[in-house]
Structure 1
């Protein structure tokens, strides 16, 4: 079954970003297993999940709502990346790479949201 979201570049990048975040949080201290690492994993999985749900909707208004939720998860993850950096769980170089990729996903998602919300 070929779903429409799988054709979206933003969805593909968001799934790739999930793998990156999962790999990075694997190296967090074990006491963060149910803390920051789990929060980051939930937020990052929410991004492609909501893109997929939005792409499956027939109403552009509904699609825009799910794309907007995904954008909220991007902001949440941006904050969590900053916290991880300040706790010295990730380097400044890794932080910058993550933020750059997150900004690219956000830029593409904003375009999709704008198209769906017809503004």
Structure 2
């Protein structure tokens, strides 16, 4: 069991959540219960599962929660792609958040591999 706040991947995923909230605050009102809600929930799921998994007593359990985080990261990636396709975010914001998503995915994959050894 470890303190999730000491994990760089948790810090990066928290940064991603803050960015998702910043990006979605100006989405059209009709998206509040659709894309905004889904995107925010998926983003919040990433650091939440890291935090929950870090409180487990086995590495196997921790790895399972990390995999859920990775799945949520994939979901965020698609929803951000949808947002750019719908012209709800700028190309600059898309590139910024996509970079954060890529960093999160790489860190999660590396940690999953390390924990599974």
With the length of structure 2 as denominator, give the TM-score of the two structures. Answer: 0.95
Report the secondary structure of 2:26's partner residue.
Answer: coil
Query: What is the Cα-based RMSD across aligned positions, in Å?
Result: 0.9
Distance 1:45 1:20 in 2: 11
Instruction: Report the counterpart of residue 40 of structure 2 in structure 1.
Output: 41
**Shift of the alpha carbon at 1:7?**
0.3
CA distance in 2, matches of 1:76, 1:61: 23
CA distance in 2: counterparts of 1:72 and 1:105, whole angstroms: 11
Tell me which residue corresponds to 2:109: 110
Give the deviation of 1:108 after TM superposition: 1.0
Secondary structure of 1:28's counterpart equals coil
1:62 matched residue in structure 2:
61
Displacement after TM superposition at 1:93 (Å):
1.6
Per-residue deviation, residues 65-109 of structure 1 (Å, max 9, x unmatched): 000000000000000000000000011121111111111011111
Which shows bigger deviation, 3-12 or 69-78?
A: 3-12
Q: CA deviation at 1:23?
A: 1.2
| Matched pairs, number | 116
* Aligned equivalent of 2:23: 24
